[in-house]
Structure 1
Amino acid sequence: MSAAERSEDGSSLPHRVLTDGPKPKHQQLREILEELCTTQLQPGDMLPGERVLEETYGVSRITVRRAIGDLVASGRLKRARGKGTFVAHAPLVSRLHLASFSAEMAAQNLVATSRILSSSRGAAPDEIAEFFGTERGTQHITLRRLRLGNNRPYAIDHGWYNAVYAPDLLENDVYNSVYAILDRVYTVPVTHAEQTVTAVAADEDTAKLLDVPTGAPLLRILRQSMSGEKPIEWCVSVYRTDRYSLKTMVTRSEDL
Structure 2
Amino acid sequence: MPDSTRHVLPDVTLSAGPKPKHQQLREILEEYCASQLSPGDMLPGERVLEDTYQVSRITVRRAIGDLVASGRLTRERGKGTFVAPNPLVSRLHLASFSSEMQAQDVSASSQILLSERATPPAAVQEYFGGEPGEAHIHLRRLRLGDGRPYSIDDAWYNAHLAPNLLENDVYNSVYTILEESYGLAISDADQIVTAIPADQSSAALLEVPLASPLLRIVRHSRAEDRPLEWCDSVYRTDRYHLRTKVTRALDL
Q: TM-score, normalised by structure 1?
A: 0.87
Q: Which residue of 2 aligns with 1:147?
A: 143
Q: Which runs of 4+ in 1 moved over 6 A?
A: none
Q: Distance in 1 between matches of 2:176 and 2:130?
A: 24
Equivalent residue number for residue 74 of structure 1: 70
CA deviations over 1:151-210 (Å, ceiling 9, x no partner)? 101111111111111111011110000000111010010011000111222221221111
C-alpha RMSD of matched pairs (Å) = 2.4
User: May I ask how many residue pairs the two structures share in their alignment?
Assistant: 251
The verdict on how the C-alpha distance between 1:3 and 1:36 changes in structure 2, with shifts beyond 3 A counting, is farther
Report which stretch shifted further, 41-50 or 55-64.
55-64
The whole-number CA distance in structure 1 between the counterparts of 2:212 and 2:62 is 29
Alignment of 1:16-165 (within 5 A): 16-18=11-13, 20=15, 24=19, 26=22, 28-61=24-57, 63-79=59-75, 84-165=80-161
Q: Show CA shifts across 1:32-72 (max 9, x none).
A: 32233124433343321232123223445455445434433
Give the corresponding residue for 1:14: 9
**Aligned-residue identity in percent:** 63
Which residue number corresponds to residue 219 of structure 2?
A: 223
- For the 8 Å contact 1:18–1:29, the answer to whether it is kept is no
The AA in structure 1 aligned to 2:202 is T
Question: Residue by residue, what CA displacement relative to the aligned partner does 1:8-33 show, whole Å, maximum 9, x if unpaired?
Answer: xxx62234142649795655543432
User: CA–CA distance in 2 between the matches of 1:59 and 1:139?
Assistant: 65
Three-state SS of the structure 2 residue aligned to 1:157 is: strand
SS at match of 2:182: coil
What TM-score results when the alignment is normalised by the length of structure 2? 0.88
Deviations 1:225-251 (A, max 9, x none): 001011110111111112112121222
